[in-house]
Structure 1
Amino acid sequence: GLYQQEAYLLWEAQKNASGGLLGRPVEMVIQDDQSDPTTGARLYERLITEEEVDLVLGPYSSSVTQAVAQITERYGYPMLAAGASASDIWNRGYQYVFGVYSVAEDYFKDILLNIAPAQEYKTAAIIYEDTLFPTSTANGAVAHCEEAGIEVLLNEKYPAKATDVSSVLTRVRDAEPDILIGGSYLPDAVLITRQAKELGVNPKLYAFSVGAAQPDFVETLGADANYVLGPSMWEPSVESPGNEDFVAEYQEMFGRDPDYHSAAGYSACQVLEAAVTTVGEIDLDAIRDELLSLEMETVLPGMYKVDENGRMIGHIPLTVQWQDGEKVIVAPEDLAGGELQLPTPTWDER
C-alpha cells in the first residue's frame, strides 16, 4: 500500500500549495493497518469517532477495505476504494463505497477471452492465494475460461503469505496446461516464477495479478520476468488528462516511478476533490450522491463512472507483458505499445 499512500501525500501537497480544498488546508491522517482487516476497521472507527476527520479515502487491499466498509457505512462516510477491487464489496448493498478501477473478476478477461483464443490455447491451470482479492481474480478467471471454451485442468489455492508453492506447481507441471494463471500479489508472483523455473513448469502463457504489473517484479527477477503477462489498471504512458504531470511530480517527490496503485490512489483524490468542490461543503450525504452520479476523466484510462451499487464500470483495464526487461502494454489494441511475445519459451530454451 505504500504506492497508494504516496499518491495521497502527493495530492495533499499539491492541494495545499494551491490553497487547499474549499479554502481549507488538507491534512492526511495515515495510520498503519498492518494489512489486517480487524485493525483497519478499528483504526477507521477511531478516525471517525475520535479524530473526527471530515472525509475518508480507502485503505489498501480488498480484505481490509471490506472490513472498513462496514465502519464507513455505519457512520455514513462516503469512501472511494482506491486499493480494492473484489466485487463482493459491491454485492453487499452498501450505499457509501465507490470503486476506482475495474473489479478483480475481470483482471484476466482480455487474456482469456481474446489473447489466449487467438493463440489457440485450450487448457489452463489457476492457482491463487487464499484471501479475498486473489480468490476473486481466480473465480473470474474460471468464468472467463468457461466462456472462452478453455478447459481448467487445475484450480487450487495456497495459503496466504506462502513461502513454498512447489507442491502446487508440481501438479501444474504434471497437468501441462497451455496457460498458468496466478491470483497473486507481488511476493507470491515472484515465488511462483522462481519455483516454476526450478521445477521446469513450462506453460505457453504465464499471467499474474498485481505482481506482474509492478516495477519490483522485474527488479527482483531480472530476465526471468520476461514473457510474463498481467493486468494493469494504469501505466505511465497512458494519454489521460494530467497523467504526464502526475508522473513527473510523483518522481520528483518520491524519487521513483509510480505504479498503478499510485495512480489509483491519485485518481481517488481527484474524484473526491471534484465531488466535494461541486457540493461546496462537507455534507457527507450530498458528497455521496455526487459520487454516485459523477462522470469524469482522471489519470486512469477510461473514466470514473459507477453503477447504482458504486461498482466501477467506466475504467479501461490494461494487459502488460515484460519484454527484454521493459513493461509493454499489449492490450487493448488501441492502447497497445507493442506486440505480444508468445509462446513463452521453455526455461531450458531461454
Structure 2
Amino acid sequence: MYRSIRRSLGLTLGLGIILLPAMGCTDRPDTLRIGATMSESGAYATQGTAARNGYLLCQEHLNEAGGILNRPVEFTILDDRSDPELAPELYEKLISKHEVDAVMGPYGSTLTEAVAPVTEAHEMIHISPLAATTSIWEQGREYLFMVLPPAELFLAGVMHLAAERDLNRIAVVKEDQLFPRAAGAGAQQTAEDLGLEVVFHTAYESGTEDFSSILRQIRDGDVEVLAMAASNLDDFIRMTEQLRDSSIDLKMFGSSGAVEEYIETLGEDGEYTYGLSAWEPTLDRPGIETFVADYQERFDRAPSFHAAGAYGSCRLFAKAAKEAGSIESGALRTALLDMRTTTLFGPFEVDSRGYQIANQGILIQWQDGEKAVVWPEEQATAEPRFPTPPWDERGSD
C-alpha cells in the first residue's frame, strides 16, 4: 500500500530534464538560477518530493517579494533517483556547465555526503536542508552548512520520555547507513547518560523486509522501549506491522522520522507510536501560517518537516545574500557563519564548521490519527499517552 502512495507522490523526472516550474518562473536575463537535485524517485521519494515542493514554494514567495538582490529566482531541480552515485554527477553538470549561479542541497545525509566534495571543489555555498550526520561536518569542509538538528539527537526525546516513565530496558535498531548509524549511536549515548540499560544495539542491512530475528531479541530481552533509526519510511512501516503481529509486550516504539504517509498507511496500527520531527505547523515560528496555507493550496497536502526544511533553507540563502549584498561564496559564507536567526523551520546558528548548534528538534506521538508534540515539555502541545503500542491490547491513556 505504501509503495502505491509513494508512486503517486513521486513526480519523477527523467535524467537531465530540467524542471522549469510555472510558479514564479521567469526568462529574464538577470534571473538568479539555483540548482539542486532531489530524490523524486527511489527509496527517498516521499521525503525528496516534499523537499522539492518546499524549494518551489520558496521560489514563488521570493519572487513575489522581488527576488534575491532584485533578481528573480528560478530553481533548476534534477531527480537524483535517491542514488549517491548519480547525485554528484548531476551537481557537477549543473555547476561546471554554468547552468546555475548557486546551489542548494539534496535530501538526506547519504546524498549530501556524496555531493559535498563537488560543491567544495567548486567553492559553492551548500546549505543542506535535510542532512544531520555529524561526521559530514568533521572533514574540514568550508562551504557546507547544516540546518537540521544533529542526527545524534533524533531519538533523544524517546530516551527522555522513557526515563520519565521509569522504562529502563532499551533496544536500539538502526539501518546500516550513514544517518541511521549516527542516530543509533546518539540514542545509545543518551540512554546511558540517563542511566538506562541498553539491552541490545544492532544494525540491519538496507532493504531488509523480515525483522523476525530482531523481534526475537526484543522478546528474549524483555525490552520495554524500541528506538529505531532508518532512512527509508518503508522500514518503520514494516517494523510497526511486524510488532503488531508479534504480541510483544513493548511499552514504547520511537522512530527517527514522522511523516503523514506513515499514519496514512497504518491507520490505527500507527497510533501512539513516536517519531522525531524537526518541525510542526503548531510551533510558534515566524511565517508558519502562510507557508502551511500556501503549501496546502499548491500541492494539495499538508507540508512535512522535509518540505519546511527545504523552504527554510532557501530562505536562509536569501537572507545571507541580502546581508552579504552578494552571492559570492566568501561573502555568503561569512554571513552564514555570523548569522543568528529563526526561520519558520527553527533556530539557526552554526559553529566554525557550519555545524548546527541551535536546532534541537521535537518528538511527536500519533494521537487520534494526528501528530501531537510531546517533547520537549516547553514545546509540547499534548501529554504523551501510555502505554503506547496498538499491538499491546491498545492500552488506554
- Is the pair's TM-score, using the shorter chain for normalization, greater than 0.5? yes
- Asked if structure 1 preserves the Cα contact closer than 8 Å seen for 2:348 and 2:356, the reply is yes
* Cα deviation, residue 16, structure 1: 2.1
Amino acid of the structure 1 residue aligned with 2:216: T
Equivalence map 1:63-74=2 (5 Å): 63-74=110-121
Which residue does 2:147 correspond to in 1? 100
Looking at structure 2, the residues matched to 264 and 65 of structure 1 have their Cα atoms a distance apart, in angstroms, of 14
Alignment partner of 1:135 out of 165, 172, 181: 181
Alignment partner of 1:261 out of 306, 311, 318: 306
Q: Secondary structure at the match of 1:23?
A: coil
| Cα deviation digits, residues 206-264 of structure 1 (max 9, x gap) | 10111xx1011110000111111121100011110011111011111111000111111
| Misfit runs of 4+, over 6 Å | none
Which residue does 2:222 correspond to in 1? 176
Over 3 Å counting, the alpha-carbon distance change for 1:348 and 1:305 in structure 2 is closer
* Cα deviation, residue 122, structure 1: 1.1
Amino acid of the structure 2 residue aligned with 1:161: G
Q: Secondary structure at the match of 1:30?
A: strand
Alignment partner of 1:153 out of 199, 214, 221: 199
| Cα deviation digits, residues 321-349 of structure 1 (max 9, x gap) | 01121210011111111111122256251
* Cα deviation, residue 170, structure 1: 2.2
Which residue does 2:234 correspond to in 1? 187
Q: Secondary structure at the match of 1:192?
A: helix
Over 3 Å counting, the alpha-carbon distance change for 1:69 and 1:345 in structure 2 is closer
Structure 1 residue runs of 5 or longer lacking an equivalent are none
Q: Secondary structure at the match of 1:152?
A: strand
Over 3 Å counting, the alpha-carbon distance change for 1:346 and 1:6 in structure 2 is closer
Looking at structure 2, the residues matched to 155 and 45 of structure 1 have their Cα atoms a distance apart, in angstroms, of 38
Alignment partner of 2:322 out of 272, 277, 285: 277
Looking at structure 1, the residues matched to 225 and 287 of structure 2 have their Cα atoms a distance apart, in angstroms, of 37
* Cα deviation, residue 202, structure 1: 2.8
Amino acid of the structure 2 residue aligned with 1:284: S
- Asked if structure 1 preserves the Cα contact closer than 8 Å seen for 2:350 and 2:357, the reply is yes
Which residue does 2:383 correspond to in 1? 339
| Cα deviation digits, residues 259-290 of structure 1 (max 9, x gap) | 11111111101110000111222211111111
* Cα deviation, residue 200, structure 1: 2.0
Equivalence map 1:47-86=2 (5 Å): 47-86=94-133
- Asked if structure 2 preserves the Cα contact closer than 8 Å seen for 1:190 and 1:217, the reply is yes
Which residue does 1:287 correspond to in 2? 332
Amino acid of the structure 2 residue aligned with 1:227: Y
* Alignment of 1:226 onto 2:271: yes
Which residue does 1:244 correspond to in 2? 289
* Alignment of 1:217 onto 2:256: no
* Cα deviation, residue 134, structure 1: 0.9
* Alignment of 1:299 onto 2:344: yes
- Asked if structure 2 preserves the Cα contact closer than 8 Å seen for 1:108 and 1:137, the reply is yes
Q: Secondary structure at the match of 2:78?
A: coil
- Asked if structure 2 preserves the Cα contact closer than 8 Å seen for 1:170 and 1:199, the reply is no
Looking at structure 1, the residues matched to 349 and 392 of structure 2 have their Cα atoms a distance apart, in angstroms, of 46
Structure 2 residue runs of 5 or longer lacking an equivalent are 1-47
Q: Give the total of aligned pairs.
A: 346
Looking at structure 2, the residues matched to 61 and 4 of structure 1 have their Cα atoms a distance apart, in angstroms, of 10
TM-score, normalisation: structure 1: 0.96
Over 3 Å counting, the alpha-carbon distance change for 1:153 and 1:79 in structure 2 is same
Amino acid of the structure 1 residue aligned with 2:157: D
Q: Secondary structure at the match of 1:27?
A: strand
